[in-house]
Amino acid sequence: MCSPLRGDLERNIRKAQAYCREAVEFGVVPLATHIYFTQFLDDRIPHERKLGMELDTEILKKCKEVWVYGIQNPSEGMKAKMELAKKLGISVRDAVEIYGEMMLKHSNSRR
């Protein structure tokens, strides 16, 4: 999962949690490391932010794809994650499109 964090931190964390919840409801195992690592690293301290991004890279290497929330206007951190994913050969997808696909698949399976 890739979504904004900085700015309205509490609001952005709640939104990321909601995105993860929706992914679980579609049978996906979500990883929102940007809200996980900030539980014990302070994103406002440069060396801790850097460490969090390095740890995120290690997890990203194991992912099949990155779902991006706000792909039209990504933050600097989001841009870095998307660029790295592309370098690693990991699919970068617009979450809005994914949810459309999932909703369609879900509605077709009910028939």
Higher pLDDT pick, 20 / 103: 20
Average pLDDT over all residues of the chain: 91
| Cα–Cα dist 64/60, whole Å | 8
Residue 82 has a pLDDT of 97
* Domain residue spans of the chain: 9-109
Q: Which residue's structure tokens are 């997808």?
A: 93
- Angle at which helix 76-87 crosses helix 46-60, to 10 degrees, equals 30
pLDDT single digits (tens) 36-86: 999 999 988 999 989 998 999 999 999 999 999 999 999 998 999 999 999
Q: How far apart are the first and last CA of the chain?
A: 30
- Rounded distance between C-alpha atoms, residue 38 and residue 13, angstroms: 10
Residue 2, phi then psi, degrees to nearest 5: -135, 115
Residue 101: what pLDDT? 80
Question: What single-letter amino acid sits at 17?
Answer: Q
Residue with tokens 């290497």: 61
For 68, phi and psi rounded to 5 degrees?
-110, 125
The pLDDT-based confidence of 111 (bands split at 50, 70, 90) is low
pLDDT value of residue 107: 66
CB atoms within 10 A of CB 57: 15
CA pair distance 77, 49, nearest whole angstrom? 10
Q: What is the pLDDT of residues 20-32, one digit of tens each?
A: 999 998 889 999 9
